[in-house]
Structure 1
């Protein structure tokens, strides 16, 4: 890799890591914590690539891109940001950034993008000298605006954000598919609210609306704007046929720019609706110019706690008490399966905002809230923890929600192990994984077995099928405290 890279980030650690990595790759690197210094370097003709943060002490990195483009049209800009929102991705794309990467970014990925940017830019015969790094006061990552519709650092969400940004102002109809509660309606609204059509009419059409009135609203209010059709598979056959006719009429409008953009929300498998006859093929193919799937919350584990905090902030902005999560509460929330997806998470956070006794939500309060799963919002039937009559209350643990369709222990273990590997990205976990995983499984197994037998070690050893002396040694090695108690009837 060859070239000079200009880095602007108010986090000294990030500047150091990027400087070292790019220098080892063969680049010359100049880093600063100031957008003013970055602008000065660009205006002086320095640099072959810019890597800039968004929220800086003296401005917004994305806002500087048009000026960079004007001064140096051939200078690529890579944007990195802790504001992992759909709006950030769209703004970076609209500003013609070479690439946008969320923080914490994958260093090999960023290096690959930097290499691509440098390889596409013509080299200059000389490079002006640059003074050393300008250091500004350290600053933390700015938190997401509570009004932002969607946030997500997980690769699946970032890929979705990039797709939205690419087709935001295209004339193609869009299908947004996904499970119940994942945020399909928010994504659909984003196609209108963040696009060039935002100042024109928006009509939302569902199967519950009288079709004649809805058609009249589309014809009078949605010219040049957008129409969101919620779950067209839920419309009866006659209504679907009328929708096909309506779309043909809209497409045939001779006046340029009058046809509204069509945005549809569908279930996680539109092809299944087609195969089952719930959705007309001619309607689907008129709506599916581009299809994008919103991932369920279980596919973006790393987003759960940031989303929870974001939803608490949004609740506070709407007048609910201002709350934060304790470490214990955050850990419980992260490990919850959330079959109701983001909708269930939001309801849980609003409940906690109202019911928490103090400003910081405790582990116990989070456990109690997570146990209250609103059945009407589940995307799948979920069984409550199986407790036999008279079984002890294991209030010290979060109730584990077990899918009725798939309750095999091996599947749950496999999911957790895969999640552990996924969290390390392209790197492998630290050595010693086998013994470490066995220890982590062994301790809760012994604790639960002891709890179930009232602390009776003889019964516990018999339950586990091991020698009592072996059990005692394991309890000592794992520092498990044993308390005998009388079982409640």
Structure 2
């Protein structure tokens, strides 16, 4: 491997040490500093091949300095690290020209892949500026939501078609609005249409408009959603419920960029960005003949998979408090959650996802007796006992295997018991056979395996890559070193 120079900027000494040791093992030269001032001193000596920088540093904001660096040193790829795991940070990192953004905590394999990519490719271009984070609609710091934020950050600056999938109530329209509001079309209309709510015989007229007399009841010309969204974004919700005949006409518009109204002859240019969403598996609808394969590929240019709320339980408390604050801003009584109320919320299965959580919080704001809401009130409001995470007794065979592994470490690699890597190594040894078994159980279908595991499909794909598991066969290959 050709040795490259990497500059790491982070005020956490432990993080600097771990990153430096990991990259040095891969053959890189690493300079690790704790502040922007120390970074500037290093840059006056030599320009590194890659810069890895935290955001919050003792003497300033790393993103502000990176914004200037990408002008001063346009060939320098930058990887941003941040514990501020919000959509605003992800978008801002891309805005200033960062090559990649990694939310903390991150795994070293992901960082290594980002470094290799930064060395191999040029940095991506800047995107539209971001407003106040309070105006952003998406909330969550879980790894699954970080995957969503990173995709959004990379697509807002262009007009690529986006297909958002996820269960009802997960916030698909919020993602579509974020893509619109953060991009260059933000000053133009955002128009949404729900395919499942429009009668089949009226869908084409709703989408493309109609002329006077085009059908019974058409007493005047009416503009369709494509015309209403001119210059902006057209959000096609529940696209999986679109009738086949309307799918054919939509495909022609996506291919040609032009359409005519129902009953009209004049060609109209479709100057819109398309964002579609579905709570159904479009690949399965294609296989069953209920959705056009060519339309699926036209829509699925950039896929975004939204996790169910039960797959990101660590976000529930943050969301619940946000919805209570929002209810208070709307004039409802201000309420606070006791710790046992948070536990009750986190143990419920949330079949209605984020939408159900918001409704429950607004109801609690009105009906809870006291200012502080306890767990009993939450369980009573949910109507059924909270679905607690089951207590699983440790299998004696697994316990014996772990103990045996620890004894082997003590004999052959005693440093592993002291150097802070033990948890990741033991979990990693369990993770590989678990993922392989679930892929085999579901015929190598990654979406179904991810759902069964309770993780995001993008997260599963990343773990397959890190563990060296062939995605089509499920067979393990040792990771390349």
TM-score (norm 2): 0.62
| Partner residue, 1:18 | 15
| Partner residue, 2:448 | none
| Partner residue, 2:300 | 288
| Partner residue, 1:29 | 32
| Partner residue, 1:173 | 161
For residues 45-84 of structure 1, the aligned pairs below 5 Å read: 45=45, 48=48, 50-54=51-55, 60-84=61-85
Report the secondary structure of 1:265's partner residue: strand
Pick closer, same or farther for the CA change 1:250–1:287 going to 2, 3 Å: same
For residues 258-277 of structure 1, the aligned pairs below 5 Å read: 259-277=271-289
Report the secondary structure of 1:227's partner residue: strand
Deviation (angstroms), 1:193: 1.5
| Partner residue, 1:155 | 143
Is structure 2 residue 336 aligned with structure 1 residue 336? no
> Any gaps of 5 or more consecutive residues in structure 1?
10-14, 122-143, 373-383, 385-397, 403-408, 430-489
Cα deviation code 1:5-58 (max 9, x no counterpart): 35255xxxxx122233245455432203xx5x3675476456735444445687
Pick closer, same or farther for the CA change 1:67–1:327 going to 2, 3 Å: same
Report the secondary structure of 2:174's partner residue: helix
Cα deviation code 1:395-445 (max 9, x no counterpart): xxx53389xxxxxx899999xx9xxx9xx984547xxxxxxxxxxxxxxxx
Report the secondary structure of 1:195's partner residue: coil
Report the secondary structure of 1:198's partner residue: coil
| Partner residue, 2:175 | 187
Task: Note if contact 2:258-2:270 (Cα within 8 Å) is conserved in structure 1.
Answer: no
Task: Note if contact 1:177-1:292 (Cα within 8 Å) is conserved in structure 2.
Answer: yes
* d(CA) in 1 for partners of 2:361, 2:165: 25
Pick closer, same or farther for the CA change 1:275–1:335 going to 2, 3 Å: same
Cα deviation code 1:127-165 (max 9, x no counterpart): xxxxxxxxxxxxxxxxx9443222333333322322233
Is structure 2 residue 235 aligned with structure 1 residue 231? no
Report the secondary structure of 1:83's partner residue: coil
Task: Note if contact 1:232-1:240 (Cα within 8 Å) is conserved in structure 2.
Answer: no
Pick closer, same or farther for the CA change 1:321–1:117 going to 2, 3 Å: farther
Pick closer, same or farther for the CA change 1:80–1:355 going to 2, 3 Å: farther
Deviation (angstroms), 1:358: 4.5
Deviation (angstroms), 1:67: 0.3
* d(CA) in 2 for partners of 1:113, 1:198: 33
Task: Note if contact 2:347-2:388 (Cα within 8 Å) is conserved in structure 1.
Answer: no
Q: Over alpha carbons, which structure has the higher Rg?
A: 1
Pick closer, same or farther for the CA change 1:147–1:256 going to 2, 3 Å: same
Deviation (angstroms), 1:278: 3.9
* d(CA) in 2 for partners of 1:31, 1:266: 46
Pick closer, same or farther for the CA change 1:341–1:118 going to 2, 3 Å: closer
* d(CA) in 2 for partners of 1:234, 1:119: 44
Cα deviation code 1:359-411 (max 9, x no counterpart): 44322232223x23xxxxxxxxxxx5xxxxxxxxxxxxx53389xxxxxx899
Task: Note if contact 2:63-2:96 (Cα within 8 Å) is conserved in structure 1.
Answer: yes
* d(CA) in 2 for partners of 1:57, 1:357: 45
Deviation (angstroms), 1:328: 1.7
| Partner residue, 2:447 | none
Deviation (angstroms), 1:270: 1.1
Report the secondary structure of 1:165's partner residue: helix
| Partner residue, 2:99 | 98
| Partner residue, 1:222 | 229
Task: Note if contact 2:253-2:270 (Cα within 8 Å) is conserved in structure 1.
Answer: no
Deviation (angstroms), 1:101: 1.7
Cα deviation code 1:86-132 (max 9, x no counterpart): 332222123221321223x13524753685489669xxxxxxxxxxx
* d(CA) in 1 for partners of 2:135, 2:250: 33
Match of 2:194 among 206, 210, 232: 206
Match of 1:305 among 317, 331, 355: 317
Pick closer, same or farther for the CA change 1:38–1:358 going to 2, 3 Å: farther
Report the secondary structure of 2:159's partner residue: coil
- C-alpha RMSD of matched pairs (Å): 4.1
Deviation (angstroms), 1:260: 1.1
Report the secondary structure of 2:34's partner residue: strand
| Partner residue, 2:444 | none
Task: Note if contact 2:180-2:186 (Cα within 8 Å) is conserved in structure 1.
Answer: yes
Task: Note if contact 1:177-1:270 (Cα within 8 Å) is conserved in structure 2.
Answer: no
Deviation (angstroms), 1:179: 1.2
Deviation (angstroms), 1:264: 0.9
* d(CA) in 2 for partners of 1:355, 1:425: 44
| Partner residue, 1:400 | 387
Pick closer, same or farther for the CA change 1:107–1:277 going to 2, 3 Å: closer
Question: How many residues are treated as equivalent by the alignment?
Answer: 361
